[in-house]
Amino acid sequence: MYSYDLTSKQIAKHTDFKNFGLLDLDVNANGLLLLEQGGYLHTYNPSSKTLNKLTIAIATDLLEMRPRFVSGSDYARSASISPSGARVVLDFRGEIVTVPSEKGDVANLTQTPGVHETFPKWSPDSKSIAYFSDESGEYALHIKDQNSTNKAKTIKLNGAGFYAYLHWSPDSKKIAYVDNGRNLYITTVATGKTQKVDQDILYQPGEYRDLFGSWSADSNWLSYTIITDTNFEKAFLFSVNENKSYPISDGFSNVTNPTFDPSGKYLYLTASTDAGPVVNWFDQSNQDMESSNSLYLITLQNQVKSPFAKENDVEVIEKEEELKTEKEDKEEDKPIKELKIDWDGIQNRMIALPVGAGNFAALSSPKEDMLYYLSYPAHGGETTLHAYNLTDQEDEELFATDSYEISANGEKMLYYSSGSWYVSDIGKKSEQAELALESIQVKIDPVKEWKNIFNEAWRVNRDYFYDPSMHGVDWNAMKTRYEAFLPDVTTKSDLYRVMSWMFAELSVGHHRFDYTGDSRVEKEIITGGLLGADYAVNNNRYQISKIYGGLNWNPDLRSPLTEPGVQAKIGEYIIKVDGQEVKATDNLYKFFENKAGQIVALTLSSNANGSNAHTEQVTALDSERSLRNRDWVEGNIKKVNEATDGQVAYVYVPNTATGGHEYFKRYFYPQANKKAIIIDERFNGGGQLADYVIDLLNKPMQSYWDFRYGNDMKAPSASIQGPKVMLIDETAGSGGDYLPYLFRRNNLGTLVGKRTWGGLVGVLGYPEFIDGGIVTAPNVAFYNEEGFGIENVGTPPDIEVEQTPKDVIAGKDPQLEKAIELILQQLKENPPKTLKTPAYPDKTK
């Protein structure tokens, strides 16, 4: 703590804490300072220069620390069906539980409060359930006998720290899974030996990515895909015996979902040749792009004919012995044959299934010549499950579902639809009620959980943070330093506060808790209704002073007072709301409590006494943000248009994701006939890398085209060649830091305003804690020829202009005003070049 003497202008230091700095400072009426440091409160007397550590004892029931039972379907995070379909195993708030498909009781297999257990999977032979557990302090693979109370077998893992998506081999001897480092592994259960199969070359968003495709019927081969350095997926087959991978695609198409047919004759897959612009997920230019894929199969042996080959019927006389053998084969289980693959020419043996192109995923082949898959509509709508019968060559749409899993015996399926889980016969919609997840109750011990959450949050940052050296911070030491506070933690908010202190040591942006988990008592949120208007207080009434215009055909821009049939006018008084008298002494918004999305009877009058009143039926909004933002944007367009005599375009970019893409398209193209442009990226929320915006601004004029009728047209036609100014401020960050960086790097124009926020790292998905909480750990960071930068620095303007609250309240915008002044000056000094139509050619000479 320091003080500054206004007279002498001297600075004096008053405290000398070593381990923890001050977090808060206050002063009472007597001039005694109160400060927080290291979890304690201190007082400081400026007169005596004495520091006193306070001892505070509070007698309370500490309800949050009490063990309790929790229930509710929201706690079910992953589920898997048993081999016969009789039960389903779930990760339920950190415990592994099984529930009956129809009749029976819930069974908690783990009963380990304060231990986080995830991603359970039943073995095909029904004997075991595998899952991941952090019981040791690090995640390990546990194998639990489903009919035994014995302790689970533990297999230590040496991957990137976090693991997901277990896939048993058909013989129940091996398990495939992935980690957060995008590695694919196979572990042999009996020996604990682990093979690393492969790893993605490029990272994609998500806490995990499942590289796994399927197992072959003989359990000796595994299909999978990796993300290549072009962001395309490439498919491979891995031989467990050889410990070797073989490519089955060439990288020129995006190949996904490689799935073995149990016969061993075919490998099914999906492939796309137009996926390039879509799979480059970090580029904003992918926003408008669409792709489709198609279903294919590859014959794995040379002698296997295409199932779609043209047939020619011939009469065949079968011998009695052959008929007898065929009958015996049908009556007895066939032994699993070892899969043989003919690699020569395999890429030429790919055959398209006679199903039109679409968006297909989640392929599964539980029985020979049968393929199940999900079809996703391109523009919204229900995802549907399909079944393709290779023998009959028929594709059947079954029913709508979000995901599904087929039991190991191929007779039952588990599927998730409209927020509920169901078990049914394979390919059939369930006639039973949804799984009774509400009957699950698990006992939790908050104190044990808080320790687990602390450790897991620390590990998330250790294992996901982009810099393995943790910005030079001794991360192990930080764990030791801050876990010392845990014995004094008595509420969850205390826990998350302590963790915030620890994470602050990394000094990085985008570091936050996206969610702080469930609460002992969940708060009920009541939304208030809004009318999309401003009000003045006159004559003891609320008077409509402004109505925000909307686009009533767009649900996101609906303006209640301008909808068809509503006769509301500026200047009218609000007399009643749903029959209740409204006076200016009332809080106007209390009349709209819990009315969002509901019809409200609004009584209006041009007179404060309510004479000649009329009542309008309006549907209240839950937010006016979109209306007010649009009003501000179009107000700025009007200001720029009037101040520049229509010569300059104004385009606002709210973020560098979907919203920014939509805004730029909406407002840039209709103004592409202007001579110059002001791009406003203030308050930009970031998102992707704004190549879309920069590419459009960076288009040079290439030529003109003369038409017999109408004006000549420049090419590219949607381009502005004149001066460009970009407005930036301290609230724009992430992609909002990168957009002005690109603007400057490409020498596009002048940056005006304030230095941007300085958050040029990214957050791409993280696993949940046991209570559902999530902490970020920035796992991607910007750098260029000069090294890592912009993060914690921002992009500075060329011309700095302060925007004070006083200016804004007065209706002024000094930054925009400066941009207008500057661009008019630049337009005068350097107007865009134009060409006149030359003399037409004389072909007679």
The amino acid occupying position 232 is F
pLDDT of residue 324: 56
Burial class (CB in 10 A: 0-12, 13-18, 19+), 737: buried
CA distance 124 to 832: 71
CA distance 424 to 568: 54
CB 157 within 8 A of CB 196: no
CA triple 141-519-61, angle to 5 deg: 110
Query: Alpha helix (H) ranges present in 358-491?
Result: 446-464, 475-483
Q: How many residues would you count in the chain? A: 845
CB 589 within 8 A of CB 596: no
The amino acid occupying position 268 is Y
CA distance 230 to 774: 30
CB 681 within 8 A of CB 655: no
CA distance 573 to 730: 39
What would the two tokens of residue 154 be? 């533990």
Q: Of 435, 332, 399, nearest to 85 (Cα)?
A: 435
Collect all residues with Cβ–Cβ distance below 8 Å to 797 and sequence separation of at least 6: 728, 751, 752, 753, 754, 755
Query: Alpha helix (H) ranges present in 187-339?
Result: 276-279, 320-331
pLDDT of residue 845: 86
Complete DSSP assignment for 14-57 = ----SS--EEEEEE-TTS-EEEEETTEEEEEETTTTEEEE----
Q: Of 123, 136, 36, 32, nearest to 80 (Cα)?
A: 123
Q: Of 290, 246, 297, 245, nearest to 271 (Cα)?
A: 297
CB 225 within 8 A of CB 279: no
CB 659 within 8 A of CB 284: no
pLDDT of residue 663: 96
Query: Quick one: which H or E segment has residue 77?
Result: strand 76-81
What would the two tokens of residue 776 be? 């970020």
Per DSSP, 75 falls in state G
CA distance 132 to 166: 9
CA distance 652 to 202: 33
Q: Of 615, 603, 600, 513, nearest to 560 (Cα)?
A: 600
Rg value, the chain, Cα: 33
Query: Quick one: which H or E segment has residue 564?
Result: none
Note the Cα 707 to chain centre separation in Å: 48
Residue 598 to residues 520, 530, 620, 786, Cα–Cα distance (Å): 31, 10, 6, 56
Query: 545's torsion region: left (phi>0), alpha (psi -120 to 50) or beta?
Result: alpha
Q: Averaged in consecutive runs of 10 residues, what is the pLDDT profile of the chain (845 residues)?
A: 95 92 90 92 94 89 93 94 98 97 94 97 97 98 88 96 99 98 98 98 97 98 98 98 97 97 98 95 93 97 92 63 54 77 94 96 97 93 96 96 98 96 96 92 97 98 98 98 95 95 96 92 87 97 95 87 95 98 97 96 97 96 94 96 98 97 96 98 97 96 95 94 98 98 98 98 97 97 96 97 94 97 97 92 92
pLDDT of residue 144: 96
What would the two tokens of residue 782 be? 């910007």
Q: Of 78, 106, 82, nearest to 93 (Cα)?
A: 78
Tokens 């070359």 sit at which residue?
Answer: 201
CB 213 within 8 A of CB 245: no
What would the two tokens of residue 707 be? 């038409």
Query: Is residue 762 classed as helix, strand or coil in its secondary structure?
Result: strand
Q: How many CA atoms lie within 13 A of 630 on its CB side?
A: 20
CB 724 within 8 A of CB 748: yes
Tokens 């821009």 sit at which residue?
Answer: 557
The amino acid occupying position 521 is V
Tokens 């209570």 sit at which residue?
Answer: 771
The amino acid occupying position 560 is P
Count other C-beta atoms under 10 Å from residue 493's C-beta: 12
CA distance 256 to 552: 41
* Strand intervals (E) in 640-793: 648-652, 676-680, 703-705, 713-715, 724-728, 750-753, 761-762, 774-775, 780-781, 783-784, 787-788
Query: Alpha helix (H) ranges present in 272-319?
Result: 276-279
Per DSSP, 645 falls in state T
What would the two tokens of residue 570 be? 């500026």
Count other C-beta atoms under 10 Å from residue 86's C-beta: 17
- Helices 446-464, 475-483: inter-axial angle, 10-degree rounding: 160
Q: Of 469, 461, 463, nearest to 181 (Cα)?
A: 463
CA distance 642 to 668: 17
- Alpha-carbon dihedral 471, 477, 481, 486, rounded to 10 degrees: 100
Strand partners, 389: 370, 394
CA distance 286 to 37: 48
Burial 340-378 (b: 16+ CB within 10 A, else e): ebeeeebeebbbebebeebbbebbbbbebbbbbbbbeee
CA distance 386 to 337: 28
Tokens 């006639």 sit at which residue?
Answer: 431
Tokens 């206050």 sit at which residue?
Answer: 26
Count other C-beta atoms under 10 Å from residue 152's C-beta: 23
Query: Is residue 272 classed as helix, strand or coil in its secondary structure?
Result: strand
Count other C-beta atoms under 10 Å from residue 387's C-beta: 16
pLDDT of residue 331: 45
CB 491 within 8 A of CB 520: no
Residue 225 to residues 3, 200, 233, 235, Cα–Cα distance (Å): 62, 8, 6, 4
Tokens 């930080």 sit at which residue?
Answer: 478
pLDDT of residue 159: 96
Per DSSP, 410 falls in state S
Collect all residues with Cβ–Cβ distance below 8 Å to 402 and sequence separation of at least 6: 383, 415, 416, 417, 418
